[in-house]
Structure 1
């Protein structure tokens, strides 16, 4: 088991490192700032050969944060938790060894910070120069995100208040909201509930303990709770045993996950995905709640964001009354789960040819086909599970119950059927695999009551 885990970890790590092309250096002269600004572009590995359009994430303090951000991004895209994006790193400008981040990131002149107060010019640089330049040069989706930490988090929050539509996603690492006697806290209290947000996503990460109050995070959290309009979806995260610098890593990771919450479940369905449920004989209907915000109702009404949060499964003998929606902070991946079993009655065996092949656990496919007769030993629920590739079809009792759907790709299909004791015709077609196709992983299982761990009781495997 340890060897398998190690191999999987190596594979994921290698794949993660290969998700993005090496960074490319570029520059743009800013008339707003009166200076040449260096930028760093990181493109998805397949950008040169595909035609996709990508979200763009702008990473300030780029000389420190771009590599960390891209490494975390690579891992999350490799495990399909978020989509691939374009990264634009913006290193700070230095004059005679002096870092001008204090000038660019802060919204007001403050006696405790030299050369502060240039955030409005830096916003104009993004809005009028940098973003149009990137939009013209690359295939972009039109939706942007920004990551900033400490004073960079101050800039990100200030930009959100001043230009809420400039970015869809705002991810801030341990932002220094104490700046200028908590200027942003006061500004947010005055303006937040009147800002025209539309599915804007804000994630703030930072430290617990003394720093929570020292950075005025506690004050900002209170303002957000009291004043956030419905168009702003936000989450505040606190980390134990972290420093001002180390919390940036977790803020990157959690901020990207929160921004794209719902991406992983964008094609999710109930499990079982199809079949028949008998009234009076309820089954356990699973919902894919692993890192998802799925809300459901059991009276047939449309769920909302405040409906009951799904907790792994529901017990029902009427799947038609269950409705569930996977919500996303951005609204982009909001989707009602569709496939599920229907209500009906037991299936009865049909007469099968006397010379038909009898299938059991030792049966092997021939030329990509497994066909014959399956003997059902007792009345009850039976579950068919498979991972289809192009051309896969499952017939049982002369009816088609599962097949490859190009819209859903290799999504696992699970069909539950109530069967009477007897012999049933069975045919599973699974043509030769193409490169990249997953294994079929087919199984037929017996369920004691539709609510048990049916996968522990196989009758047939391929």
Structure 2
């Protein structure tokens, strides 16, 4: 097949050459480790860059999605953007596989041009992915989720080619400023022919280009029109045109928006509702507050698993008796569904206790311990390193250690108004909260500060024993207990327990 080289073709070949030169300088800055595979299909050794999720621990059975990135110079950019999105809880931890170039014209382009002497072996490169690279990654690394493929320019052509010819290899396809002009728009012809076969396969395609002349030069506009006309059911796609971008700079937005689109059903943060458990008085209903998106979360009150036919959650739900409330975020991809449950039992007011002898207001007492734990220790077997009053000057950041320590805070607090109280805890790492001998909140174990629990309980006027157990292993530190009084429940206003109502030994 003869392809005429026009000025536009020469321009993009020049850009490709510049990118290849830049790629060599980027190699030393790449994250992760270098690996390689001897390809019988390509008859050459192919080098890959492998970045494992930050929290992956060798020996763990955890499995991860994989993001495959074409072109050396895209690897660091893709890594930075993926980590940013992950840290914002908008996509799961992901293995990154950067596929380094040997001859991008040969690998990425599906047809041959006399002006591009090596072009036209995309079929072999795709077979390399199918029969060698992906099986190697699945066998060697903790891969076990969805695969995503990113490519830019000629790489975007290959992304589209892979979608049409081996759609089962990847779940998500991201084509950045793809060169759909190649071979007189050969990809448009393939799309028209093969698009119907993508119906109801759960695939996504993201295409990003440059607004105006850029969309025209790359032949993206006709692709957009074709998708609008013929995209089948169950195939999610987007074409975006970005203003004021160059062929190179648009990669950043394509990476970010493409990954967000591919993971649009993912919600990394747990489903948040408060209170998360507690005691309900007969004939005195309580409110359950839900603070997030209500459009995809369904609920039941009998402990059964919610489905699409279950009621949608509302910002406030009323419970008038015992219930096992279950929330489920129902997405188009079951692996992204999230479920959480709260147990509410019918009961009575907790009895108040007399104020203990020598207890004075101004703060609870604390005992500080040192050691290495993955969960709360048995404090009865330990001797505290330091003891004191947890008054307004107390902070876990001021303790002798910032890692590998534990604290027990205990005392009595005064209730001046009868009614429902909600206690909330957020900690990093583990904690437990007791009212008297009753465990009301359990956040034990190693975790970050994005996990919260709360408990609603009816209290009468008087004094109640409170004990908080907390440990910190490493990383971030957080210990925050708040409560909501009866007169603040309607306002949904949590506050710390005032020091004037905290009593400890003196």
- So what's the TM-score if we normalise by structure 2? 0.69
Matched, 1:61 2:71: yes
Shift in CA distance, 432/121, structure 1 to aligned 2, threshold 3 Å: closer
Q: Secondary structure at the match of 1:254?
A: helix
Shift in CA distance, 434/48, structure 1 to aligned 2, threshold 3 Å: closer
In the TM superposition, 1:30-429 aligns within 5 A as 30-44=39-53, 49-51=58-60, 52-62=62-72, 64-77=73-86, 81-93=90-102, 100-109=103-112, 116-141=119-144, 143-195=146-198, 198-212=201-215, 214-225=217-228, 227-229=230-232, 231-261=234-264, 264-265=267-268, 267-276=270-279, 283=287, 285-289=289-293, 295-297=296-298, 302-304=306-308, 314-318=315-319, 324-327=327-330, 330-339=333-342, 342=344, 348-355=349-356, 362-366=363-367, 368-388=407-427, 392-396=431-435, 399-406=438-445, 411-417=450-456, 419=458, 421-429=460-468
What is the Cα deviation at residue 454 of structure 1? 0.8
Per-residue CA deviations over 1:86-131 (Å, capped at 9, x if unaligned) read 33322332xxxxxx42332223346886654322122112112322
What is the Cα deviation at residue 303 of structure 1? 4.9
Task: Give me the CA root mean square deviation.
Answer: 4.1
Contact 1:58 1:90 (C-alpha < 8 Å) held by counterparts: yes
What is the Cα deviation at residue 149 of structure 1? 0.9
What is the Cα deviation at residue 156 of structure 1? 0.8
Extract unaligned runs of 5+ from structure 2: 1-28, 369-406
Per-residue CA deviations over 1:116-173 (Å, capped at 9, x if unaligned) read 4322122112112322333444343264322101221121122012111112332222
2:363 and 2:239 map into 1 onto residues whose CA distance is: 54
Per-residue CA deviations over 1:157-202 (Å, capped at 9, x if unaligned) read 2201211111233222222334444433343333223237644343
Q: Secondary structure at the match of 2:178?
A: coil
1:438 aligned residue: 477
Shift in CA distance, 182/421, structure 1 to aligned 2, threshold 3 Å: farther
2:148 and 2:89 map into 1 onto residues whose CA distance is: 19
What is the Cα deviation at residue 44 of structure 1? 4.8
Q: Secondary structure at the match of 1:442?
A: strand
What is the Cα deviation at residue 402 of structure 1? 1.0
1:352 and 1:255 map into 2 onto residues whose CA distance is: 59
Contact 2:429 2:446 (C-alpha < 8 Å) held by counterparts: no
Per-residue CA deviations over 1:28-54 (Å, capped at 9, x if unaligned) read 444433444343334456768443444
2:127 and 2:46 map into 1 onto residues whose CA distance is: 14
Shift in CA distance, 216/407, structure 1 to aligned 2, threshold 3 Å: farther
2:410 and 2:417 map into 1 onto residues whose CA distance is: 21
Per-residue CA deviations over 1:259-306 (Å, capped at 9, x if unaligned) read 4455553643423322356778664613344xxx96134787945499
Per-residue CA deviations over 1:238-270 (Å, capped at 9, x if unaligned) read 433322211111222233344445555364342
1:38 and 1:433 map into 2 onto residues whose CA distance is: 41
2:409 and 2:122 map into 1 onto residues whose CA distance is: 67
1:236 and 1:286 map into 2 onto residues whose CA distance is: 34
Contact 2:417 2:460 (C-alpha < 8 Å) held by counterparts: yes
Q: Kindly name which structure, 1 or 2, has the bigger radius of gyration based on alpha carbons.
A: 2
In the TM superposition, 1:10-21 aligns within 5 A as none
2:494 aligned residue: 455
2:463 and 2:229 map into 1 onto residues whose CA distance is: 62
1:423 and 1:357 map into 2 onto residues whose CA distance is: 17
1:230 and 1:360 map into 2 onto residues whose CA distance is: 66
1:404 and 1:232 map into 2 onto residues whose CA distance is: 41
1:305 and 1:173 map into 2 onto residues whose CA distance is: 38
1:200 and 1:116 map into 2 onto residues whose CA distance is: 28
Extract unaligned runs of 5+ from structure 1: 1-19, 94-99
Contact 1:32 1:121 (C-alpha < 8 Å) held by counterparts: yes
